[in-house]
Structures are given as structure tokens and as C-alpha cells.
Amino acid sequence: MNRHYYSDTVASFLDKDNDTILGVLATNNTFSLEDSQRDAWIEEIRILKNALAPYRCQGTVYFEYSIPRLGKRIDVVALIGAVIFVLEFKIGEREFTSHAIDQVWDYALDLKNFHQSSHECAIAPILIATGAEEGTSVIAATPHNDRLLLPIRSNATALATVIRNVLQFVDGEAIDAPEWEMGRYCPTPTIIEAATALYNGHSVTDISRSDASAINLSRTSDAISSIIQLSRAHSQKAVCFVTGVPGAGKTLVGLNIATKHIEKASDLYSVFLSGNGPLVAILREALTRDKVRHERELGRKAKKGATMSEVKMFIQNVHHFRDECLVDSTRPPIEHVAIFDEAQRAWNREQTSNFMLRKKKTANFNLSEPQFLISCLDRHSDWAVIVCMVGGGQEINTGEAGISEWIDSLVSAFPHWHAYISSKLTDSEYAAGQALQRIQAHQNVTVKDELHLGVSMRSFRAENVSLLMKHILDLKTDEARDTLEQIRDRYPIVITRDLTKAKKWLKQKARGSERYGIVVSSQAERLKPHAIDVKSPVDPIHWFLDGKDDVRSSYYLEDVATEFDVQGLELDWACLTWDADLRHTRAGWEHWSFCGSRWNRIRKTERQMYQKNAYRVLLTRARQGMVIVVPEGDSTDHTREAAYYDPTFEYLHRIGFETI
């Protein structure tokens, strides 16, 4: 399938009648053709024919080039000489807005990072505000040394000059257009981008990597779909346990299954459930904003409230789903398929019982959350499937039962249910423990390799980031050094004692709308002297979704997010500020919590695990690189003694991180 509406050599484009080109564009347009879009194409064709006339024998043009990861299309991509020109037209505009500059930069970054044939090419993003008085801007490369130029501003008449100047600035061999077209597009979208693209009808193969080094997400999705179809055909009930390393795409697989079965009229209707409140709120808001924007761009009326109501049926908080099932204890839910994201965070019996008594005034509730949720789907008289997406070492809250509670519930209360288990569920980080031994006696158990996602896709620059952080937290210094060497050139990680330097580093690294922000442990209560107050609540929706001009966004580097705000989400560039709650010592990690005016030692193994997992979450949020700040101590403050911080910094330094 073509990724563009129209493509041609420059020579053929120059010779073709404008109406013929317009006709091809209109024919391949998948949306209703508005007058504004038709007029824009007419103007773009006119401008380009003037600008490209000198390059008749050395170029190819592509109109409306698809970027599925972003749910967008580039107005024009032109291959001329050794340069990929990314052209974004703003017809009639007189100003070069920061939003438009980021837009064309994002398009160029997408090609640079995710289009195989574009990795080593020079890319020139050009914003053309056709009504602007300013002609051209300075041509310069970014400091990242990857042959991506800084965004160039141009008006309509100066475009030919801009192209000529870029070609004089860039060295290299001419790009072979047919070979360039054959390059695979292997994106790794953020979960927000992925949810938006899937909700808009893209498939998981459109927006996921397909290189040989990554586990193919469609393989896992297909395995789950087969289990759903089998269960439906044979009137069976089944639980699937899908495992994966941090950032491997578990949530993406779950969303893919849910979007395949989004029609209420179908008995395959499914729901995506998560107990992660910030994730649910952010995804709902992102999908709603995108849908409203899209409808308004097409000239249709769109009300945010009505759109949000539709989205809420697709993505639900697991606790709200539970409460709805409590209203009528016999009626099955409308959904036959329920996808539970981060299933390991479901509550144990004690936590669920305590909550039901305190919040719901329901006494004697003696079921764990997994057992109750299975019982809800078990109400169906024919078939049902539960898909549990399981992360390793991700439990960060008191009462989170881990995956063993799901297995125990299945064995003790639902012997007629089938179980499909990832072959990696036996790994120690999933904490399935003795429960796996008990399930061996279960009569319907199938182990499937396809239910494991083994390669992190969060960091498209280096897939061993999660392994590195595991080595660091497990105090495996030599292994950490070796893993760091494998990713050093592609995934920058630096350490510092100075938060101001860290903020500057983030801003220098981020390009376009690449998102950056500060993350901290929820126990990091002695960072107040550095203007970081974990007790000041952040609004995750504004922090993750709003732009550079909003003081509530992550870009401002004022509000910080904790592990509870960022679990399941990601930034392009992250700053982790490390407090004295987790301290490196000769004897290993020490765990502390701050209460009143002093630190108190955490001795309970369970709480120590939660704290270690909190840092695991924080250390694996960044897609492209990170800076770790371990502040200097203060001899005048007994709560911030140097001995609380220096050993941690020295440990990270010994591993080999660059210091700034």
C-alpha cells in the first residue's frame, strides 16, 4: 500500500497538467475533499513547480506522505540530490508559529528515527508560510550530529533559494528514490500516540516496529485473537497471561485487541481495563482531544463531552468496572473480552476487603480483586476471555497482589476455565512463585511462547535500557558496566549533582515536540531545597498532554511526576532526581521514608520491594536518554547529610556514566 497520495519524478511532475495531479490527489484522498484542502493542493503544486524547476533531472516528489505514528501526513517530501526535504505548507499564513515549527520538525524526526532508508540521510525540514514577508532563515545542523537540519523558515517566493542553499550546505551521494521507497517504516510510538492511531483505525503493524531485533507485536496480538476465536467457537472461558519487559508493548497489544472489537453490537465486544488512574485519564483525554480536533478540521460539529462518553466505554478504570458489576451481582457485563492492563497490580483479598468496607460500606467481602473480576466474566453462559497484561517488578502500592493471586483464584475457584500462560511467567520478576506449581494440577493449561514480549520498544535507540536498570538495582556492577557499553553510543545517560545543569541538558537534547520532564520517587521528601515538592500534586493530563506554553506541562520543569503518575507512560527525555529514600551502601541498598523531621528506616521486605520497584519504574521512562541527578548533601541540614547522597553518586560513577 502506498504511503502517499501522489508521487512522481520531478521531471514528470513539472510536465504534468496541474489538474491531472490534483485529480490523482483527490482520488487517493480517503476523506471527504473540502474546498480548503483542494485550494491548498493547487497552491502547493504551483509553488513547487517554480521551486523545483532547476532540479528536473535529479529528484522525486511525494504528496501527503503518511506518518501513522503521529496520525498525520507530511504535505510534501522531496528527494533532491543528497537531501530529503520535508515541506510543510501554511497557505496564506504570515507568521511562523512555534507549533508549526515543531510540527515540521516532528515529521523530520519521525523519518530520521523510524524510516530505515532515512537514517543516514540529510533531512531538511522547511516550514513555508506563503504570506510571510520574511524570505529565508539560517541553515544549520542540530548539535546531535545526525544530519538533521534545524527547521528552516521560508515564504513562497524564497523556497527555490532555500532548496539551493541547503544543497550547497549538505554533502553526500544522491538518494536513490526507488531504494528509499523500499525502506521499512519501523516506528515505536508512545502509548498516547499508539492509542490515538489504533482508535483511528490503524493496525498494530502500521505503528509498530518490524525489524528482526524486536519481537513482533502482531505475533502476540494474533495469538490472543486466536484464543478469543477458539473460546468463542467452543463456548469456553479462558485467561491469557501476557508477559513482557518494561516498555515491550503490553499496553499496546491490549489496546490493539480492544480496538479490533469496539462495536457494541458484536458479541466480541471488548473493554480495556486498567487500575492505573493517571494512564486511564490521560488516554481518555488524548483520544477525546484528537477526535474533536479531527472532526472540527473536517468542518463538523464536535462536543467534547459527547466524545469523551464514547471513549470512556472503550477505556475504563478497572475499579469502575468492578463497581458496575457489584450493582447487579448476577447479570454478566456487556463485554465478552476484558483486557486487564498491569494485572499484577490487582489487589489482594485483604486490600479489597478493607476498601469495600471503608469506601463501599460492604462488609464481609472476602474475595480478592482477581477472583471477583474473573467471577464477573464467569457470569456469561457461553464464553468469555480475560487477557492479563503482566509486568515484571512493577508492583508499587500496598496490597498489590502480583500475578500469583490471579493463578490462585483460577485454581481454587474456576477449574473449568482454560489458562494460556506465557513461557516466561516462571521468571523471578513476575513473582508467580509457588502459584505456578499449583496451576500444574489445573486441567486446561497451555504454555505459549507468543505470549511474551521480550524486547523493550520504549527506547527505540537502545533495547537494553531496562536490563541496565535491572543490573543497577540488583547491584550487579560488572553486568551494568557491560550493558552500559552496549547502549552508550545510542542512548545517552549522564549523571550530575546539579539540577540546573540537568534541566539545561534536557532542553538541549529535545527537538521538536519531544517531551521531557522531571521524575522523582514519591518518597523523595527532602528535595524541597531544590524546589521539588512531591506532596504538591501534579495533574497528569496537563503534565503529559499540554504544550510548551502551559506552565502545568512537563516542559516547564516545575511540576514533577512520581512513579504513580508515570507508570505505563513515557517521556522522550527524563531527569530522575534521586533522593535519600534509596541509598547505596557497602551492604547494599538501604530503604528510608521521611516522617516529621527525620528519616526512618524501612525494614519490611514488602515495602522495600515497592520502593525498589518505584525506582525501576522511574529509571525506565525515557525513550531517548536521561540524566540522573544525585544532589549534594548539606552539612547544615541533618536530613540531607552528604553521607546520604555521595555513595549513591559514586556507585553510578563507578558503573561508568558520564558526569556533567
Are both 230 and 369 inside the same structural domain?
yes
Which residue, 398, 433, 453, sits at the end of a domain? Answer: 453
Asked if the model's pLDDT at residue 255 lies above 70, the reply is yes
The domain boundary, picked from 387, 419, 453, lies at 453
What's the total number of domains in the chain? 3
Residue 138 lies in a domain: yes
β strands within 140-235, DSSP E: 152-154
121 in Cβ contact with 80 (< 8 Å): no
Give the domain extent around 436: 218-275+316-453
Domain boundary among 182, 198, 228: 182
In tens, the pLDDT along 387-421 reads 998 876 555 566 566 778 888 888 889 989 999 98
Exposed/middle/buried for residue 364 (C-beta within 10 Å: 0-12, 13-18, 19+):
exposed
| Residue 209 maps to a domain | no
481 vs 492: CA distance, rounded Å: 14
* Whether the predicted model's global pTM rises above the 0.85 cut: no
- The pLDDT-based confidence of 90 (bands split at 50, 70, 90) is very high
> Does 429 share its domain with 486?
no
Q: Which three cell numbers stand for residue 46?
A: 504551483
CA distance 589 to 361: 41
Q: For residue 431, is pLDDT > 60? A: no
3-class state of residue 470 by DSSP: helix
Do 229 and 178 belong to one domain?
A: no
Check whether residue 445 and residue 469 sit in a common domain: no
Q: Are 391 and 250 in contact (CB under 8 A)?
A: yes
Looking at the fold, whether 447 and 494 belong to one and the same domain comes out as: no
Q: What is the pLDDT of residues 166-216, one digit of tens each?
A: 999 999 999 999 999 998 887 777 888 888 888 877 666 666 655 434 556
Please report whether residue 189 resides in a domain.
no
Q: Residue 357 maps to which CATH number? A: 3.40.50
Lowest-confidence region among 65-79, 188-202, 516-530, 588-602? 188-202
Q: Give all strands of the β-sheet with 598-601 in edge-to-edge order.
A: 582-585, 588-595, 598-601
Q: Which residues contact 305 (CB under 8 A, 6 or more apart)?
A: none
Q: What digits encode the pLDDT tens for the residues 278-311?
A: 999 999 999 999 889 888 877 788 889 988 988 8
How far is CA 446 from each of CA 202, 241, 244, 507, rounded to the nearest angstrom? 31, 10, 18, 49
Q: How far apart are CA 94 and CA 98, in angstroms?
A: 13
DSSP string of 99-116, one letter each residue: HHHHHHHHHHHHHHHHBG
Beta strands in 535-597 (DSSP E): 571-577, 582-585, 588-595
For residue 299, tell me if it sits in a domain: no
Among the listed ranges 33-37, 151-155, 266-270, 365-369, which one has the minimum average pLDDT value? 266-270
Residue 296 belongs to a domain: no
- Do 15 and 92 sit in the same domain of this protein? yes
Report pLDDT digits (tens) over 593-634. 999 999 999 999 989 998 999 999 999 999 999 999 999 999
**Do 633 and 516 fall into the same domain?**
yes
295 in a domain, yes or no?
no
- Domain co-membership, 173 together with 240: no
